[in-house]
Amino acid sequence: MPVSNSRDTILLERRYAAVFTTFSDESIAKLAAAVDEKLRDALAKVLALPAGTFDDAATVAPKVREAMKTRKAYLDTGVLFGEAATEKAIEVLGDKSEDPSLEDLNIVLPALIEEFGLDATRLMAVQFSVSLGGFRKLVNNDPRFAIPSSGNAPAAAAAAPAIDAAAQEEKKRARAERKEKDKVARAQAEVQRRIARGRV
């Protein structure tokens, strides 16, 4: 799901960057190779890499890591790498996909992990970890989906999520129920438009 403002964009970029530091080169190669054909051009554009790069398992991971860092493209790459798991989750959750509870997620996660792997499912969780409460609880309470607070990510990235998440939560509580539902609907429509335009 796309973010609604620049602060959320920065927060998600940091979260994706932190999560990517935990992925092996083999995992990145598998994620790149699994990107749907219709999204390959978008991925190539995001990373400024030839489309054929993603089929070379021996060299793709270092190139993707460097491109994400240079182009500050952790968020866009993470969304594309997790897109298949995201689409499946939306399909399985049905109406609940607009704002699934932690319980809803725990029902569908085992099948998603089995089909797409844990890393792709983690990227899906990061995508929604700011905007939806069930996903916020997931990354805060399930060690498999925790956002790393150390590693190669900048030190500022460790402190910022907690601060920004608290501010976001306060803003959400202040909104009326109708506005909250409208926001989710607009965000879902926007991600579909961005995918269609190749600007995920």
Residue 113 CB neighbours (<10 A) = 16
User: pTM surpassing 0.75?
Assistant: no
Distance (Å, whole) CA 37 – CA 109: 25
Residue 1, domain member (yes or no): no
Residue 66, domain member (yes or no): yes
Residue 78 CB neighbours (<10 A) = 26
Residue 108, domain member (yes or no): yes
How many structural domains is the chain composed of? Answer: 1
Q: Which residues of the chain have pLDDT under 70?
A: 1-5, 150-190, 192-193, 198-200
Q: What is the CA radius of gyration of the chain?
A: 16
Residue 72, domain member (yes or no): yes
Write the pLDDT tens digit of every residue in 31-47.
999 999 899 999 999 99
Write the pLDDT tens digit of every residue in 92-110.
999 999 999 999 999 999 9
Domain of 155 in residue numbering reads as 6-197
Contact yes or no for 47/67 (Cβ under 8 A): yes
Per-residue pLDDT, 8: 86
Alpha-carbon distances of 163 from 7, 8, 175, 188, 198, rounded to whole Å? 11, 12, 19, 25, 32
Q: Tell me which amino acid residue 57 is.
A: A
Per-residue pLDDT, 52: 84
Per-residue pLDDT, 1: 39
> Which positions ≥6 away from 100 have C-beta within 8 Å?
93, 132, 134, 135
Residue 108 CB neighbours (<10 A) = 18
Per-residue pLDDT, 159: 36
Per-residue pLDDT, 158: 37
